[in-house]
Amino acid sequence: MLDSKTLQPSSIVSLPTASIASMMQRVMIQAERTLLERAQRAAHERGVSFPQLVRESLERELALGAAQPRPISCAGAISTGGRARKGAYEPDPWR
């Protein structure tokens, strides 16, 4: 049985009063409906909320040490002498 002597302020562990919501910022995004539907489906399949899926995706995308795409270092143009306009378009085989 607990009595008033046992419950001294120094013996009670104080819990943080700030909720997790106070540490988060609310954001609004725009995305295509199909992308949002896919994300909601993925969240459901993983058993997490949609906001949790978005947070985890941001963490994964922005992880320190993750390979960042290299910026374009050069660009150019070539002349085909009009040969490109004469033939039918055929995509490269690697596409």
Rounded distance, CA 50 to CA 58, Å?
Answer: 12
What pLDDT digit, counting tens, does each position of 13-58 carry? 555 555 666 788 899 999 999 999 999 999 999 999 999 999 999 9
**Residue 57 is assigned to a structural domain of this protein:** yes
Residue 37 sits in which domain range?
33-62
Q: Can you give the pLDDT at residue 5?
A: 53
Q: What is the DSSP string of 11-28?
A: GSPPPP---GGGGS----
**Residue 87 is assigned to a structural domain of this protein:** no
Please tell me the pTM assigned to this model.
0.48
Q: Can you give the pLDDT at residue 53?
A: 96
**Residue 52 is assigned to a structural domain of this protein:** yes
What total of structural domains would you count in the chain?
1
